[in-house]
Amino acid sequence: MGHYDFLKGAAFTSADTGEVVFGGLIELTKNLEAGTNHGAFFELLLQSSQYRHAKKRYTEDPASPMLYPVFDRFGKDRKVGGILYTSIYWRFMMMNILPENVRGIVCVVGNSDGQKHTYVVNGNDAVHLGEGDIHDDDYSHMGYSIDLVDAIRKAAGPESRSFTASGVNGQFMNYTLTVYPSMVFKEIFADNRAQRDASTIAVTFAVAICLFLIYDYYVQRRQTIVLDRAVRATAVVSSLFPANVREQIINDEANDPSQQHRRAGAFLGSTVEGSASNILNPTPLATKYPNCTVYFADLVGFTKWSSTREPEMVFHLLEAIFKEFDAVAARWGVFKVETVGDCYMAVVRIA
């Protein structure tokens, strides 16, 4: 289809449908029709479009004509009163849209007529690479494509200020835009930062785990020491007090640690109602047994005898005697309270 044939067909389509019509890609450096002066025609394109720049800026960039219907009135009964003709220079559409540090974005513009041109966007500038799809095949799987006519239909409207109320005709000519990364883009943004971050996180976790294990070791060690001391303290209490007294001491300290400071007073707790001692110690440590025997055994003449003997002899004598006492006490259920010198004290409850 010649360019003037296109203009004729596009104009009729725009007038009949009341829609915006896009034309094919026109390369201004080539003769569009046999016998046509492309320079003169290029002058015509510039004069009919919104651009008023030097011709040198456009001589290597393809453009797409666009016919825009102008209506005689607003409302549903409106009619097309004229056609506005302009040209879209795709390189200009890709300029000043990216930050300066973003480079190497390859854009392929194609239409339903099979025409394709490739651009590369580097920051605020765009460069026309040539005709056809010439992106790097290594990045084909990363391409992202959009239907331009469909995107304009969805985004256009008075509220978006893109264009007024005219639709876009995608049957006459449709465009697609496909974006690809490139090696330049990869060198800028694809580095080993992810590996460094992963290594840093791994080291951090490893250090945290080591610190936790060390902390757990010292906690376990301290708990073992505390438990060992508690066992030994329990053993001492067990050797000094009967089972019921031992349990009362342990339970009182577990429920109220301040009981430890009143333990001495607990032994003296009075059973008389209303007394000050009973108020301070509502549950005295001592228990009253109406039928019991307290046994004291003392060696007659022990002081005089031991004064003339070696300490080892005195110790062996007391050990032998008290050992027999302990055996008898264990056999008959007698509670040994203490031994003081040669004195043996024991208590037994009479049932």
Q: What is the CATH number of the domain that holds 328?
A: 3.30.70.1230
Pick from 118, 73, 86, 123: nearest CA to 101: 123
Domain final residue pick, 189, 220, 252 = 189
Q: What's residue 275's pLDDT?
A: 46
Model pTM greater than 0.75? no
Residues 45, 177, single domain; the answer is yes
Residues 18, 152, single domain; the answer is yes
Residues 36, 184, single domain; the answer is yes
CA distance 134 to 176: 15
The residues pairing with 344 across neighbouring beta strands, listed in sequence order, are 297, 339
Q: What's residue 279's pLDDT?
A: 46
Domain count, the chain: 2
Domain final residue pick, 144, 172, 189 = 189
Identify the H or E element spanning 222.
helix 193-240
pLDDT, block means (10 residues), the chain with 351 residues: 65 85 75 50 58 59 83 80 82 86 92 91 90 91 89 69 67 90 84 79 93 93 90 78 72 62 49 47 67 90 90 92 92 88 88 67
CA torsion 223→229→230→236, rounded to 10°? 170
Are 87 and 64 contacting, i.e. CB atoms less than 8 angstroms apart? yes
Residue 88, classed as helix, strand or coil, is: strand
Residues 168, 303, single domain; the answer is no
Residues 29, 147, single domain; the answer is yes
DSSP 334: P
Residues 298, 173, single domain; the answer is no
- 265 within a domain of the structure (yes/no): no
Residues 31, 168, single domain; the answer is yes
- 230 within a domain of the structure (yes/no): no
- 93 within a domain of the structure (yes/no): yes
- 269 within a domain of the structure (yes/no): no
Residues 161, 300, single domain; the answer is no
Query: Which structural domain range is residue 309 located in?
Result: 289-351
Tell me, what amino acid is at 78? R
Helical spans, DSSP H, in 241-310: 243-255, 263-267, 276-280, 302-307
Starting from the edge strand earliest in sequence, which strands make up the sheet with 144-147, in order? 125-131, 116-122, 105-111, 175-180, 144-147
- 123 within a domain of the structure (yes/no): yes
- 213 within a domain of the structure (yes/no): no
Q: What's residue 32's pLDDT?
A: 46
CA distance 291 to 60: 123
Beta strand 19-22 with 63-71: parallel, antiparallel or unpaired?
A: antiparallel
In Å, how far are 293, 295, 348, 350 from 290, measured between CA atoms? 10, 16, 12, 9
Domain final residue pick, 169, 189, 209 = 189
Residues 16, 144, single domain; the answer is yes
- 201 within a domain of the structure (yes/no): no
Q: What's residue 19's pLDDT?
A: 85
Residues 176, 303, single domain; the answer is no
Residues 20, 168, single domain; the answer is yes
- 144 within a domain of the structure (yes/no): yes
Beta strand 19-22 with 167-169: parallel, antiparallel or unpaired?
A: parallel
In Å, how far are 43, 59, 126 from 54, measured between CA atoms? 10, 10, 18
